[in-house]
Amino acid sequence: MRQVASWIGIKISKESLAKGIGKAVPLIGAPINAGMTYYTFKPMANRLKKHLRSQALTNIGQLGLKLC
């Protein structure tokens, strides 16, 4: 990055480089973490949904109740 900037004529110090990288890390990390969370929680959420639907107390049709 320094070499490319020097060709353009911009001087980059270590501090400014560190600040730029420090601001880029959360922008890159957020989508990665969101994707990991989605793909790890999705299978367990489906299992929980299936389990709750199989419970007798949650199945209103079996109890003979009607929702408005």
pLDDT in tens, 17-38: 677 777 778 888 889 999 999 9
Widest distance between CA atoms in the chain: 78
Across the range 6-25, mean pLDDT stands at 68
Under the banding of pLDDT at 50, 70 and 90, the label for residue 46 is very high
Environment class of 12 (CB within 10 Å of its CB; exposed 0-12, middle 13-18, buried 19+): middle
C-beta of residue 62 within 8 angstroms of C-beta of residue 56: yes
Residue 52 contacts residue 58 (beta carbons within 8 Å): yes
**CA 32, 51, 58, 66 torsion: positive or negative?**
positive
